Each structure stands twice: as C-alpha cells, then as structure tokens.
Structure 1
Amino acid sequence: MRSRVIGTVLFGAGVLALVFAAGLAFFVAPRVERLPYDLDRTQSVAEAPNARFLQITDGKAEVNQGTLRSTVTVQPDVKETARLDGKLDGDAVVWLVGQEVVRTDTKALISAYSTSLALDRKTGAAVRWDKQWLDTGNNRQRVDYSGQIYKFPFGTGKKTYDIFDRDIGTTQPARFVKTEKIKGLETYQFTQEIRDARQELPADRLQILAAQLLPGATTGHVSYSNTRSVWVEPTTGQFVKVQETQNKTLVGDNGQKAVILDAVFTYTDDTIARSADTAAANRQRLQLVTVYAPVGLLVVGLALTAVGLAMTLRRPRAASVDGGPGSGRGRHTGPGPDGSLASTTPPADPDLAGKPGR
C-alpha cells in the first residue's frame, strides 16, 4: 500500500515535469527569442587605416588620406514602439541609429547619418513602417528598409540572407561562407558583394564635386563597390565582427574619374571582444530556457513517470502458506522404520545427522 502511494506521487511529479518541459519548449522559448523592448544603448566602432576619402571643408572638396573611425550607436525608441499598431504591435520594435565617421588625427567629421526604423523582433529584419526616415545631413527623407541591417535572426542558418545597403537603398544577398571561432565563440561568416552600383546623390552636390575634382566635367555619378563580411553568433543573431571594403569613384560626364573613397573598415579589437562577450552571455541565457531546462525536465519527467508507474502497478507480495519454524507444515511425512510418523526431509547438514548430543 505504501509503495502505491509513493508511486502515485512520483508519477504525478513526473507528469508535472513533462508539462513544464512542454511549456518551456512551446510557449516560453518562442517569446524569449525576440528583441527586447528595453534594449541597452550600444556602440560599435570600426576603423579604416590608411584610407583615402573625400573631405569637404568650407565648401572646398579634396581627397585626403588617413585613418577613419566609424561609430554606430543603436538605441530603442520606446515612444515610437509604444505607438505601433496593427501587425506591428507586439511583433516589432523601433530603433534609433546614428553613425559618425571622423578622422582620427584631427577629429574632423567626415560623414554622418541618423535613421529610425522598425525591426521584426524575431528575425531582426526591417519591416514596412510608414514613419521610418533617413537623414544624411542634408535633409530627412523617407526610406523603405528591408532585409537584415544591424542584426540577423535568432537561430541564424547556414544560408543566404539579404542585407540592406544604405548607399544604394536596396538589398543584396549575403552568402554563407564558413564557420569561424572568434574569441572562443563559434560564428557564421556571411559575405555580400556589391559591384559597380550607382549611389544616388543630389544633382547640385554632384555638380559641385565634378567641378572641383574633375576639370571640364559639369556633372557625373558615383560608382560604388563594397565587400561586406559579417560574423554572426547563430543562436542570438548578433554581429560579433564586421568588415567592409568600400570603394567609391566619381565618374564625370566627360569620362574623367576620381576615387573619393578607398577604405577597409573593420571592428576594433575592443568592439569584437565586447560583442563576443555579450553574444556568449545572451546565448547561454537563451540555451538555458530553450534547450537545457526543457531537456532536463523531459528526462526527469520520463524517469519519474516510469518509476512511479512501475511502483503503482506492482502487485503486493503474496502471504506465505508455510508455518513457522518447526510447525511441520509443508513437509512430506511418512511412516518411519519403526512405524511412527517421521519426517523424510533430510537434515540440513549430513555430518550432524544421527549424532548424539554432547
């Protein structure tokens, strides 16, 4: 009776563990793998040593050489996120992003932009939102973002993803290249190739640049190429390292050309280390909820239900039909040599049988 009670308790505990395992796997885990509303403000720094770049000072345009530092700042826009409605409500988050590029020697500002966009909380991809904008320093304009920009999906796969490029205003495919360990963390490398695309600039700005850099030209266009590689921690989709080999050439209407950007931007060692540490910590938290806890509860639940079921179904031990010691029950008896009823059961030890007591 007691074993049945214990078995029932164990069986119930096992079922409860299985329920919790299913709840974590199918209800909690999908909600954990989403961009948080209260994301901390982050900065990523990349440098391009010995870069050639266009610098405009007091209206004068010239191509200089030096080391450039790019700082990208990302922070959530809580107010705009709260205003999202329809399909975006609960499934998207609004980010404010800004970038500044400066010369490291003079601290002079070379270029800057700021933007507001909405991202899918699961995939990290940009979603359609009628209030997104981009400001490159001239004026704030509407932009239609799509694809991955600042993050890859939770559970990134070894496949091709589209990455949005701000300079051409559209996406281009980034193909999976290989896995690589960075700071002890496994990452997936993706590379995007943009070749001889055209970057749109305001007509008045093109005229000024052409007149100063291409004698005899009255206008032109900018030819843009970029090899962009990103190293992504696959569980979280976070960037651990980014490298961009950029080239921009001003092509005049008279056939002349001038390189206005030739630079290789790479995350600094400090940014890579911080990104790897953050991604590793976030991955551990995600795996605890999505893998370790559900699997552990599943194993414990199955074990408890099996033991509990076995104890519950086990039959109670049958009562013995033999009498107590010396009762004579269960023995085969027959007449002895002298005609008396004597047991024919042999003594336990033949050496002791028939010997007189001492």
Structure 2
Amino acid sequence: MRRVAGATLFGLGLLCVVAAAALAWLIVPALSQVPYDLKPPDVVVMAPNAKFVSARLLANGEPRIAVESGTLRSMTGVKPDYQAAADLTGDLAGNTLIWNVYQATDWVDEQVPINRAESRIALDRKSGAAVPWEGQCYNDVKVTKQDATTCEPGNIEYSGQLYLFPFGTEKTTYQYFDGTLRKALPMQYRGDDDVAGMPTYRFEQTVPQQEIEADDETLAGLIGFLAPKAKSATMNYEASRTLWVEPMTGAIVAYREQQHRQLVPDTGAPIDILDATFTYDQATADAIVKQAKDGRSQLLLYGRYLPIGLLVGGLLAIVAGLMITRRVAPPKEHAPAHAAEPEPSTVPQG
C-alpha cells in the first residue's frame, strides 16, 4: 500500500507542476489581451467653469457664435466591430480590435450641442496602441446644420496609446495620441499613486502652445462674430494631461486634461475660445475602477496565486511520494521449513 500511496502522491505532484506551468504559459497570456467581445463603458468627462465657443441657430433662424461659460460634458462611446476584426489578414489577424468611436460634447447648463465626431480605429489587443490600418478614419460632424459627411477611410493616421495602455504597463515614456494635432506625443511616467485602493502609475503629457490649422469656414465664422474688426486670424492650442494607469491591466482609472485654445486676430488681443479642465464623472470612475479591479484580480489569481500554490503543493507532493516509496521495507528472506541436521563429528571420542 505504501508503494501505491507514494506513486499516487508523486503523480499528483507532477500534475500540479504541469498545471502551474500551463497557467503561467497558456492561460495568463490569453487573459493579457483585450477580448473581442469587450464593450468598454461609456466614458464621460466633465469640465465645470469652462469657457468655450458655442455656435447655434436662434429661434428666428439666425446663427450665433459667442464665447460662453458653464459646464461641458464630453461622452465617448465605443462599439466594437467584430466582423471587421474577423476579416483582418496578415499580421493584424487575431491580434487586432476594430472600434467604432463616437464622441459628443454638450453645454450642460443650456443643453446645447457643442461638438460631434466619429472615428474608426484599429488597436493592438495586448499593447492597446493604435496600429496601421487602411480603414481608420475621423469625421468632425457639424452641429449647426445638416451634415451628410461620413468617416472617410484613410483620412487620418492614428498611432500611440488612445484609450488603453499595455497589459503590464511599465515605468517608461509612451506615445499618446493628441486628437487636435492628430499625432502622438511623449507621455512620461512621473510616479506611483494610489487610486481607489489600487496601485497606479501616473503619466503626464504637456503640449506647448502652438499654432494649429483651422478650416476657412470655421475661422471666418469666428472672426465675423468675435473679432469683426480683424481681417485675418490664427488659432493657438496648448494642453496638458495626467493619466493614472493600473499597470497590470493598462486601464486608465483616473484622468485629467486641460485644454486652452485662442483666436489670435491680426488686431486686438487674443480671445479665449476654449479654456477647460476635464475629469471623469463619478459613474465613469466607478465603472472603470471596477473593471480594472476585476481584471487585476483575475491576473493575480491565474498568474500568481494559483501557479505558486500549485507549484509549491506539487513539489511537496513529489517529495512526500519519494520519501514514502523509499521507506518501504525490503522483503524478508524466509528460513527453510526443516533446518539441516549437523553432520556427525569426526573427532575421536575419548
């Protein structure tokens, strides 16, 4: 029985070691990528006490462009395109998400739309970064008139991080996409912080003031209403962003973005047309934190606690099995049924 028990423990130990290796090398890598069926929560950022330009039609049909003050609400929604992802070929096949992204910014106090936009983007499932894809596009939808424009494939080149950071985010500098400049700029690791009981990495990006392009129609409208004495104008832009990233999942669990834009007419002082600081609303913060905590718990369970437990338990079982097997006593030699009688002595009797 001891031999059987020892062999059973030894086999069980080997099975535990193999299971630990399978978790570490097969299961965890599968968990460390964004699932195709993941529907990210809608992200809402709020900017109280903001200054911004509102363009709208009055009751009499007349257009009105003015600098307003109030609370801005910007919502970003994602709809994964499973079929487009499944149709990808080459290096993108099996490694890439296709997301349709919708954005809406509103003046909360007056329930007036400020901006609408739509885009399509390809993201790497592990790094969360944008990857080259011929179908990526961006469309700024007009809110003051009927707009039949569509998102034209190939009219933008996304790169760097946008909505996600890599699984296993590192303390380094990443490239983060700026939607106004339409290019990725460095975002640097600046320290460790605790957010909602989770360890996070804090990243910061600064976009220095610079002149940006504006289409002629928009610029003419701004000049006509805000600087009627000017003959021409340019537009300045600057921004700063701070992101708190849960490093195991790459989730952006806290967010702050400051944007400042100015109309600079050829006569008179610059005019602020956007001055706002955006942060997550409470519902968004709660949803993203919950998602990050769930993902972190899964990765810790299958990537650390279970493999370590299985490995330690397996090694103990192997050692115990070997010790039990070695302690089994060797079989005894049996004496013959009748002992041989001694041979007669040849010594003479006295």
Whole-Å Cα distance in 2 between the matches of residues 304 and 216 of structure 1?
87
Considering only aligned residues, what root-mean-square deviation do their CA atoms show, in Å? 1.9
82 and 146 in structure 1: CA distance in 2 versus 1, 3 angstrom threshold: same
Q: How far did residue 255 of structure 1 move?
A: 6.6
Counterpart in the other structure of 1:30: 29
Aligned amino acid, residue 43 of structure 2: S
Shift of 1:171: 1.0
Structure 1 residue ranges, 4+ long, deviating more than 6 angstroms after superposition: none
Letter of the aligned partner of 1:28 in structure 2? I
Question: What's 1:161 paired with?
Answer: 174
Match of 1:61 in 2: 65
**Distance of 2:79 and 2:210 partners within structure 1:** 30
CA drift at 1:238: 0.8
Aligned match for 1:151, one of 164, 173, 176: 164
- Higher Rg: 1
1:5 aligned residue: 4
Match status 1:180 vs 2:202:
no
Residue 256 of structure 1: how far off its partner (Å): 4.3
Per-residue displacement from partner, 1:153-210 (whole Å, max 9, x unpaired)?
1111122111101110011111112222222222221111111133322123222222
How far 1:239 sits from its partner (Å)?
1.3
Question: What residue number does 1:257 align with?
Answer: 270
Counterpart of 1:344? none
CA distance in 1, matches of 2:106, 2:161: 26
Correspondence for 2:337 = none
SS of the residue corresponding to residue 115 of structure 1 reads strand
1:226 to 236, 239, 263: 239
Shift of 1:220: 2.8
Separation in 1, partners of 2:256, 2:91: 34
**Alignment-derived partner of residue 329 in structure 1:** none
Task: Evaluate the alpha carbon distance shift between residue 80 and residue 177 of structure 1 in structure 2; reply closer, same or farther with a 3 A threshold.
Answer: same
CA distance in 1, matches of 2:177, 2:210: 14
Alpha-carbon offset, residue 254 of structure 1: 4.4
Tell me the distance in 1 between the aligned counterparts of 2:29 and 2:234: 47
Say if 2:27 is the partner of 1:14. no
Is the CA contact (8 Å cut-off) linking 1:39 and 1:75 kept in structure 2?
A: no
Distance 2:167 2:234 in 1: 39
Q: Aligned residue for 2:60? A: none
Structure 1 residues 28-51: Cα deviation after superposition (integer angstroms, max 9, x where no partner): 211111011101252111111111
Residue 132, structure 1, aligned to residue 132, structure 2: no
Q: Which runs of 5+ in 1 are unaligned?
A: 322-358
What residue identity is the alignment partner of 2:291? T
Give the counterpart letter for 1:80 in structure 2: A
Contact 2:129 2:164 in 1 (8 A): yes
TM superposition shift of 1:248 = 0.5
Q: Distance in 2 between matches of 1:221 and 1:86?
A: 44
The counterpart of 2:78, out of the listed 74, 78, 82, is 74
Secondary structure in 1 matching 2:203? strand
2:141 is paired with a residue of what secondary structure? coil
Aligned to 2:296: 283
Distance in structure 2 (CA, Å) of the matches to 1:257 and 1:266: 26
Q: Number of matched residues?
A: 320
Q: Which residue number in structure 2 is paired with residue 304 of structure 1?
A: 317
Runs of at least 5 residues in structure 2 that lack an aligned partner in the other structure: 58-62, 143-148, 335-350
Equivalence for 2:47: 48
**Does the CA-based 8 Å contact 2:56-2:65 persist in structure 1?**
yes
Identity of aligned residues (%): 38
For residues 269 and 41 of structure 1, the distance between their equivalents in structure 2, rounded to whole angstroms, comes to 16
- What does residue 118 of structure 1 align with? 122
Quick one: which amino acid aligns to residue 199 of structure 1?
Answer: I
Query: In structure 2, what is the Cα distance between the partners aligned to 1:205 and 1:104?
Result: 23
Q: Choose from 87, 99, 108 the match for 2:91.
A: 87
Asked if 1 retains the 8 angstrom alpha-carbon contact of 2:158 and 2:183, the reply is yes
Return the TM-score normalized by structure 1. Answer: 0.85
> In structure 2, how many angstroms separate the alpha carbons of the residues matched to 1:56 and 1:260?
11
Structure 2 CA distance, aligned partners of 1:204 and 1:106?
25
The 8 Å contact of residues 214 and 256 in structure 1, kept in 2 or not, is answered as no
